[in-house]
Structure 1
Amino acid sequence: MLRIENFWEMSEYATETYVAPTPTDEEIKTVEQRLGYTLPSRYIDFMRGQNGGIPIRSTYPTSEATSWAEDHIAITAFFPLSSTHQYGIAGEMGTHFWESEWGYPAIGVAICDCPSAGHDLVYLDYRACGPTGEPSVVHIDVECEQETKLADNFEQFINGLRLEEEWDV
């Protein structure tokens, strides 16, 4: 079960920059066709609750050091499930943009931005499951050429997100 109560930051910036209208079945089909991947049902359900935005719990633990920290990554926002929103996963600055302009590997779908302004992202990784399977979630730092597996699936990723303050203890 997805843990989504009190999940989103409510701010004008978050709403204006990252939130898109609730995705319709038609929009989901368009996005999947453009990207070439079937999106996980848990991800779709999550985006139907709020389609993109800035999470309150914005860090995820790692078992190895990353360019961000010794034991975790940070995310700035979830990109919306959209083909028309500028930052939508299939939009102008979505997954294909990150692959063609920044050199990210074509392994799946870019779902989260990170504080590095494009140098690292969180992806749904379809390499092990194929384009219609259940993807894992990975953090990719394109500058350091580092990849870190975060979770076996999207639900595990959402449920594992932590508050930034937890790392300052």
Structure 2
Amino acid sequence: MPQVAIAATAGHATWFGMPPATQEQITSAEQRWGVTLPSTYTAFLRVSNGFLMPGQSTSSILPVELIAHLGDDHADVARFYRETLDSWPDEVDDYVQNRLEGTIQLSGPPNHRPEFVLLDQQEKTPKGEMEVVKLAHEGTEHIDSFEQFMELQLFSVNYGLRLYREPWR
């Protein structure tokens, strides 16, 4: 991973994706979780079954065969966020904190911080997509689609590269 980040900042790396997922892999995941995965996410999987995001708080998007409920591998993290969000005076995130274990974890191992990209199966956006929830140390960010999430990641990477190449004078 460090080599990928170095190649990216030097302008040598141009693709951080993986080989595409097969329809069988996508269907198997949908059957395993009993859901129809969002169209923007499955379109992404047909191009790249996973993705590295060097230099970002989200280190990677997992291959579809590795996605899992947050509570399966990270029940302690879900409990931590439930307790943390419960202590906040704002009740905006109440509807998420009670369902964290059942959200589908799309992101890879956190970078020394419990930050995750999740699909909330119970919250549909106006376009009919599952809402993407980015769970980070500063709270939750709610994003209307996987496509919008990836656009935000691309903007962040491009902004970071621009700062790296053109430091403040």
CA separation in 2, counterparts of 1:35 and 1:99? 17
Q: Which amino acid aligns with 2:152?
A: G
The higher radius of gyration belongs to: 2
- 1:122 is the counterpart of 2:120: no
RMSD of aligned alpha carbons: 3.1
| 8 Å contact kept, 2:72–2:101 | no
1:41-91 Cα shifts (integer Å, max 9, x gaps): 1111111111112135x64xxxxxxxxxxxxxx211110111xxxxx114x
CA 1:166–1:95 in 2, change beyond 3 Å: closer, same or farther? farther
Give me the identity figure in percent: 27
- 1:155 is the counterpart of 2:151: no
Partner of residue 89 from structure 1, selected from 67, 88, 105: 67
Give the corresponding residue for 1:68.
none
| 8 Å contact kept, 2:124–2:130 | yes
Give the corresponding residue for 2:15.
8
Q: Which amino acid aligns with 1:103?
A: A
- 1:135 is the counterpart of 2:130: yes
State the TM-score, normalizing by the size of structure 2.
Answer: 0.59
CA 1:89–1:110 in 2, change beyond 3 Å: closer, same or farther? same
CA 1:101–1:27 in 2, change beyond 3 Å: closer, same or farther? farther
Q: How many matched pairs?
A: 126
CA separation in 2, counterparts of 1:78 and 1:148? 18
